[in-house]
């Protein structure tokens, strides 16, 4: 267990949530403001997606990422920046013709998911460590071994810390293979993602099993989505991990009460401190994760 629990605020995601809560940030200005709010509330790390400002849908537009990061840095707020590199993996197929992609498909190779990382050099970027059925219907997330090896090698060249996104035990198995092959620098950083259909369920036994599979010396965090998010903070911290909250994964502070990112971070702080633990500052997070201050 680390000396301090690192809180990551996942600010907006790419899901169809903008019509479900007025607090989900969409524009670069709103996303940057959410980052500052979350840092003030106690988050050491902010995890950033961007959205098309007209449609509210997730985007891979480098200019949007640039504006968000520049706005955060211009404020002078001290926070570790974690950019998603998972956009570009969506495949929606036609049930009658599986070789025909349909609307909603945004599928590119592993390297083409990284232009914003190459330009902006964040502290951390994500690497989604496997393919899976993504919810109901005919949507899949595609991240093949070849894509992952190419992406990991490029991220390593850039000197950015990859956060290894683990949606099921097979993903974890392959991530350890990347480490064995020398494509992930020590210490590795894992994010154990639960509750996303149809990956690992938000079950304490499943989380414990994944923790048991982690290589020695690994840093790790975990989250659950929806109503499981806040109880997962306590469970994860009790098992020695770091935590993630935010509107990417959950829109509510409690039943019927919509949350802001800052409020979810504040609640995570309360839970962690009530357990007799302390919350990491950005510098403490950098030390634990093996990051350099940029």
Q: What is the tens place of the pLDDT at every residue in 184-203?
A: 999 999 999 999 999 999 99
CATH superfamily of 7-289: Aldolase class I (3.20.20.70)
The model's confidence at residue 106, banded by pLDDT at 50, 70 and 90, is: very high
Residue with tokens 């007025």: 22
Asked whether the CA dihedral 167, 84, 116, 57 is positive or negative, the reply is positive
Smallest Cα–Cα separation from 126: which of 92, 151, 157?
151
d(CA 117, CA 113): 9
Give the pLDDT confidence score for residue 27 in this predicted structure: 98
Question: CA 184 to CA 156: how far, in whole Å?
Answer: 7
Q: Could you read off the pLDDT of 41-70 as tens digits, one per residue?
A: 999 999 999 999 999 999 999 999 999 999
Query: What are the tokens at 188?
Result: 């590795």
| Residue 244 CA to its chain's centroid (Å) | 8
Of 291, 236, 245, nearest to 37 by C-alpha is: 245
What's the confidence (pLDDT) of residue 213? 98
Helix (H) or strand (E) holding 86: none
| pLDDT at position 293 over 80 | no
State residue 1's pLDDT score. Answer: 44
Q: How confident is the model at residue 3 (pLDDT cuts 50, 70, 90)?
A: confident
User: What is d(CA 242, CA 223) in angstroms, rounded to the nearest whole number?
Assistant: 9
The pTM of the whole model exceeds 0.95: yes
pLDDT band (50, 70, 90) for residue 292:
confident
Strands (E), 49-160: 50-51, 58-59, 80-83, 89-92, 106-107, 124-128, 132-133, 139-141
Strands (E), 177-287: 189-194, 219-224, 242-245, 252-254, 257-258
Note the pLDDT of residue 135: 87
Q: What is the C-alpha to C-alpha distance for residues 149 and 291, in angstroms, rounded to an integer?
A: 22
Q: What is the pLDDT of residues 16-33, one digit of tens each?
A: 999 999 999 999 999 999
Name the band, by pLDDT with cuts 50, 70 and 90, for residue 101: confident
- Alpha carbon distance 40, 52 (integer Å): 26
Q: Please give the mean pLDDT across all residues of the chain.
A: 96
Q: How far apart are CA 262 and CA 245, in angstroms?
A: 10
Structure tokens at 216: 């020695």
Asked if pLDDT for residue 183 goes beyond 80, the answer is yes
The C-alpha atoms of residue 244 and residue 21 are separated, in whole angstroms, by: 19
% residues pLDDT > 70 (the chain): 99
pLDDT at 97: 94
The beta strand positions in the chain, using DSSP E, are: 7-10, 45-48, 50-51, 58-59, 80-83, 89-92, 106-107, 124-128, 132-133, 139-141, 161-166, 189-194, 219-224, 242-245, 252-254, 257-258
Q: Closest by alpha carbon to 262, among 58, 116, 79?
A: 79
In the prediction, which pLDDT does 164 show?
98
Nearest residue to 259 (alpha-carbon basis) of 248, 249, 247: 247
pLDDT tens digits along 214-231: 999 999 999 999 999 999
Tell me if 245 sits within 8 A of 267, measured CB to CB.
yes
* Interatomic CA distance for residues 116 and 60, integer angstroms: 8
């Amino acid at each position: 267990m680390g000396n301090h629990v690192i809180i990551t605020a996942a600010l907006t995601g790419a899901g169809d949530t903008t019509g479900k809560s007025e607090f989900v940030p969409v524009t670069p200005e709103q996303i940057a403001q959410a980052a500052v709010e979350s840092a003030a509330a106690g988050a050491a790390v902010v995890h950033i997606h961007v959205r098309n400002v007209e449609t509210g849908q997730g985007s891979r537009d480098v200019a949007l990422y640039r504006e968000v990061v520049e706005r955060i840095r211009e404020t002078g707020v001290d926070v570790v920046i974690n950019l998603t590199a998972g956009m570009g993996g969506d495949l929606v197929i036609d049930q009658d013709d599986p070789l025909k992609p349909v609307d909603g498909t945004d599928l590119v190779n592993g390297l083409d998911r990284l232009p914003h990382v190459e330009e902006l050099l964040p502290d951390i970027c994500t690497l989604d460590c496997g393919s899976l059925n993504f919810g109901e219907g005919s949507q899949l997330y595609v991240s093949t071994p070849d894509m992952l090896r190419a992406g990991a090698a490029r991220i390593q060249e850039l000197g950015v810390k990859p956060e290894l996104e683990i949606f099921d035990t097979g993903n974890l198995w392959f991530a350890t293979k990347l480490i064995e092959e020398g494509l992930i620098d020590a210490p590795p950083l894992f994010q154990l993602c639960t509750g996303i259909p149809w990956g690992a369920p938000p079950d304490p036994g499943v989380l414990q099993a994944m923790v048991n599979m982690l290589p020695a010396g690994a840093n790790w965090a975990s989250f659950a989505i929806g109503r499981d998010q806040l109880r997962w903070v306590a469970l994860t911290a009790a098992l020695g991990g770091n935590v993630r909250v935010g509107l990417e994964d959950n829109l509510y502070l409690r039943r019927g009460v919509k949350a802001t990112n800052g409020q979810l971070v504040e609640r995570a702080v309360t839970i962690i401190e009530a357990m007799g633990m302390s919350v990491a500052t950005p510098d403490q997070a950098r030390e634990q994760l093996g990051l350099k201050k940029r």
